Amino acid sequence: MSALADALAESRADERRRAARALLRRPLLRATDEGFSLVRRYAPELREWFDRNTGWRLHIDSEVARLAKQPATTTDPTHPARDVRSKQPFRRRRYVLTCLALAALERGDAQITLGRLAEQVVLEAADGVITSAGVTFTLAARDERTDLVAVVRLLLELGVLSRVAGDEDAFIANTGDALYDVERRVLANLLAAPRGPSTIAADDVEQRLADLTYELPPTTDDLRNQRIRHRLTRRMLEDPVLYYDELTEDERAYLSGQRSAIVARITELTGLVAEVRAEGIAMVDPSDDLTDVGMPETGTEGHATLLLAEHLAAASGPVPLADLHAHMRTLADDNRSYWRRGARESGAEVELTTAALARLVALRLVTRTADTVTALPALARYSVTEPTVQGATT
DSSP string for residues in 20-53:
HHHHHH-SEEETTSTTHHHHHHTHHHHHHHHHHH
The mean-pLDDT minimum among 2-6, 34-38, 64-68, 105-109 falls in 2-6
**Mean pLDDT, residues 103-126 taken together:** 95
Q: What is the mean pLDDT of residues 185-192?
A: 92
Considering the entire predicted model, what is its pTM? 0.86
- Return the higher-pLDDT residue of 305 and 3: 305
The pLDDT of residue 391 is above 80: no
Q: Where are the domains positioned within the chain?
A: 2-68, 92-182, 221-284, 299-382
Residues 33-44, mean pLDDT to the nearest whole number = 95
Among 73, 3, 67, CA closest to 231: 73
Q: Is the pLDDT of residue 178 over 80?
A: yes
pLDDT of residue 214: 85
Per-residue buried b or exposed e for 211-242, using 16+ beta carbons within 10 Å of the residue's own CB: bbeeeeeeeeeeeeeebbbbbbbbbbbbbbbb
Compute the CA torsion angle 154, 159, 164, 166 (nearest 10 deg): 10
Residue 87 has a pLDDT of 86
Percent of the chain with pLDDT over 90: 72
Provide the CATH number for the domain formed by 2-68 in this structure: 1.10.10
Task: Tell me the residue type at 112.
Answer: I
Class assignment of domain 299-382? mainly alpha
Q: Closest by alpha carbon to 83, among 71, 72, 91, 75?
A: 91
pLDDT, tens digit, 9 for 90 and up, residues 207-239: 888 888 888 889 999 999 999 999 999 999 998
Return the CATH number of 92-182, one of 1.10.10, 1.10.443, 3.40.50, 1.10.3470: 1.10.10
Q: Is the pLDDT assigned to residue 321 strictly greater than 70?
A: yes
